[in-house]
């Protein structure tokens, strides 16, 4: 809760301050440049100090061990309105990246969820895949693929993308991903080198569809509170507040291409206002004037992308892609396809970068240092009259203060020793095993009682002494065991007929006695499933997995009569069409029947969640 409140305050300060300074910088032409720069510089210093203070406090908080069903390995980034963790999916056995939106602002959370829905439906080799969305402790999170390799800005600094063939190879894959997104009505709006990642196999991935942009803002603030690196890639219509479309991304691709060719951005300046002015009013130098190695064909492509008016640019990413493919094939005519060309060229370029070891679990994506010990609060910056804003985020803390693993090992051994002593003290079987039939030394040995000798009495009869029958010792009841349940997907759970949790749950901790237990899982529109699990004294985790898949069946309106009903393995699913109907994952026979016609039959394989739904399109009676 403290994390959400602290980061929410930082976001409120950032957004209010950013808007105020952006409006002042763009609209106040009468103000002198010196006084404006001085005031914005001082204000930005104070804002940066506040955000660093919040970041230090957040970094010092304990990291969660799990988020939903995912195990947290380490924190790899923090800032703005969220935190990014490197995680592990224990069911599919793969690394993932987990982004958490930790602001209490409901509007930001709704935008976060909406963007997750948009990107979650973009399944393309050049777009970062989103696997899951959920809420943990009232904080929403997105789970996406964990990317290796390097960001494009890192490759720029290492000077491994300087030749035209490599540059065109990158741009082709970026445009292929953008064209796929544009066809589905999604505009990225933030294309820049830090949002483009090149993997070791030569694949290019577009990242951060409006989600991670704010996460990085806290560490890249400039004099006006707006990320100068982002401003350099804005299209004129974005600055003017006009509607954006696919041509906005085309402009940003042109800026990236110009930077890859020349090593500099086409619109550069020390202040944000000058950068925005140049984008709106000035034409950049020709790439061939900055770098003589640029061909006329590539220069023409870049200049068309950078046209001020959207009508003068490429109208779609597909148009731009066609010209880039022509340049690529002309440069390397022996390549069979542009895909073979682009990935092969980039694989060779990536050999100039150090390759992270695949066996190293501590090699994160875009790692950000996370302080573990109590950080020293940053000192508020002074407010001098003429100073330049040069702040490098500092990480306080000493690794020597981290707790040694010896302490944990000693604690475990101590607990085991206490448990063994208790067992030996109370268990007769353990005493017999250790001390033999003589018994434990702390249990007194019973003194034998002498049996009196019978005396003959002429008038009486000898009466024998009665022997007491020992009572059987009661059998000890096994102690309950604390077990963590992991339910995938989240469902309503009953344990031995008693409800567990409230409503649908992803799992939790429960104490169960050793032995067999019955778990019943219920999901809407899915058959109730009963599972039996054996609990022992060593059981720590119980996995309860439903093999759930999603099935969509559409009909051909021109060939199929109305009133069709779908059956799966002989059981009725309902009238068609079906949209994302929950069914058991695996192989099935799908049959759709209509009155008076032959049925439609097909063998299908429904993938298990979180895989996308299986779509059976345009079903109709056979001809």
Half-sphere exposure of 399 (CA within 13 A, CB side): 2
C-alpha span between 214 and 210 (Å, rounded): 8
Asked if residue 441 lies in contact with residue 435, where contact means CB atoms within 8 angstroms, the answer is yes
H or E segment to which residue 300 belongs: helix 296-305
| Residues 6+ positions from 368 with CB-CB distance below 8 Å | 75, 76, 77, 78, 79
Q: Decide if 190 is catalytic.
A: yes
Tell me the chain's radius of gyration from C-alpha atoms.
34
Q: State the pairing for strand pair 565-568/548-555.
A: unpaired
Helix (H, G, I), strand (E, B) or coil at 25: helix
Distances 518 to 387, 488, 490 between C-alpha atoms, Å:
70, 17, 17
C-alpha span between 270 and 228 (Å, rounded): 9
Q: Which residue has the tokens 């030996």?
A: 424
Three-state secondary structure readout of 106-131: HHHHHHHHHHHHHHHCCCCCCECCEE
Q: Phi and psi of 550, rounded to 5°?
A: -115, 135
Distances 612 to 173, 207, 608 between C-alpha atoms, Å:
23, 20, 8
Comparing CA positions, the residue from 230, 259, 266 lying closest to residue 167 is 259
89, 132, 151, 190: the active-site residue: 190
H or E segment to which residue 280 belongs: helix 272-281
Residue 139 burial (10 A CB sphere; 0-12, 13-18, 19+): buried
Residue 239 burial (10 A CB sphere; 0-12, 13-18, 19+): middle
DSSP 8-state symbol, 457: -
Catalytic residues: 190
């Amino acid at each position: 809760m403290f994390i959400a409140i602290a980061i929410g305050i930082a976001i409120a300060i950032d957004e209010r301050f950013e808007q105020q300074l952006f409006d002042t910088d763009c609209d106040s032409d009468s103000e002198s440049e010196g006084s404006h720069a001085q005031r914005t510089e001082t204000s930005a210093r104070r804002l940066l100090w506040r955000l660093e203070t919040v970041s230090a406090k957040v970094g010092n908080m304990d990291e969660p061990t799990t988020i939903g069903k995912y195990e947290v390995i380490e924190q790899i980034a923090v800032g703005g309105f969220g935190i990014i963790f490197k995680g592990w999916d224990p069911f599919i056995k793969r690394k993932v990246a987990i982004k958490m939106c930790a602001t209490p602002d409901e509007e930001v959370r709704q935008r976060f969820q909406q963007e997750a829905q948009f990107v979650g439906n973009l399944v393309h080799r050049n777009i970062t895949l989103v696997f899951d969305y959920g809420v943990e402790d009232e904080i929403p999170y997105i789970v996406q693929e964990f990317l290796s390799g390097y960001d494009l800005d890192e490759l720029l600094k290492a000077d491994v993308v300087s030749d035209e063939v490599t540059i065109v190879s990158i741009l082709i894959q970026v445009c292929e991903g953008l064209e796929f997104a544009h066809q589905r009505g999604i505009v990225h709006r933030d294309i820049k080198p830090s949002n483009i990642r090149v993997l070791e196999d030569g694949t290019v991935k577009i990242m951060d569809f409006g989600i991670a942009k704010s996460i990085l803002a806290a560490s890249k603030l400039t004099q006006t509170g707006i990320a100068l690196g982002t401003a350099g890639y804005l299209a004129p219509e974005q600055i003017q507040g006009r509607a954006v479309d696919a041509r906005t991304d085309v402009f940003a691709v042109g800026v990236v291409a110009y930077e890859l060719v020349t090593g500099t951005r086409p619109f550069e300046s020390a202040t944000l206002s000058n950068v925005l002015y140049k984008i709106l009013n000035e034409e950049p130098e020709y790439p061939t004037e900055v770098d003589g190695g640029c061909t006329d064909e590539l220069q023409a492509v870049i200049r068309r992308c950078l046209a001020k008016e959207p009508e003068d640019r490429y109208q779609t990413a597909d148009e731009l892609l066609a010209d880039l493919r022509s340049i690529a094939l002309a440069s390397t005519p022996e390549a069979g396809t542009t895909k073979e060309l682009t990935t092969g060229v980039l694989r060779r370029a990536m050999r100039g970068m150090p390759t992270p070891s695949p066996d190293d679990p501590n090699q994160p994506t875009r790692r950000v240092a996370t302080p573990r010990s109590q950080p020293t609060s940053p000192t508020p910056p002074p407010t001098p009259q003429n100073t330049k804003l040069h702040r490098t985020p500092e990480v306080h803390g000493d690794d020597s203060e981290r707790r040694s693993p010896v302490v944990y090992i000693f604690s475990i051994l101590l607990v085991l020793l206490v448990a063994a002593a208790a067992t030996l003290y109370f268990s007769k079987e353990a005493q017999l095993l250790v001390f033999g039939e003589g018994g434990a030394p702390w249990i007194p040995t019973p003194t034998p009682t002498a049996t009196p000798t019978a005396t003959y009495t002429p008038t009486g009869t000898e009466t024998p002494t009665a022997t007491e029958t020992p009572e059987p010792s009661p059998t000890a009841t096994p102690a309950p065991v604390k077990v963590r349940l992991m339910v995938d997907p989240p469902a309503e759970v009953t344990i031995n007929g008693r409800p567990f949790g409230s409503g649908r749950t992803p799992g939790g901790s429960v104490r169960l006695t050793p032995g067999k237990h019955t778990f019943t899982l219920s999901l809407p529109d899915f058959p109730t499933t009963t599972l039996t699990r054996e609990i022992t004294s060593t059981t720590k985790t119980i996995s309860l997995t439903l093999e759930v898949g999603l099935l969509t069946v559409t009909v051909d309106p021109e060939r199929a009569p109305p009133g069709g009903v779908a059956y799966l393995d002989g059981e009725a699913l309902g009238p068609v069409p079906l949209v994302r109907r929950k069914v058991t994952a695996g192989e099935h026979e799908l049959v759709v029947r209509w009155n008076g016609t032959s049925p439609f039959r097909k063998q299908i394989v429904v993938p298990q969640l979180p895989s996308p739904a299986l779509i059976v399109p345009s079903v109709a009676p056979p001809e």
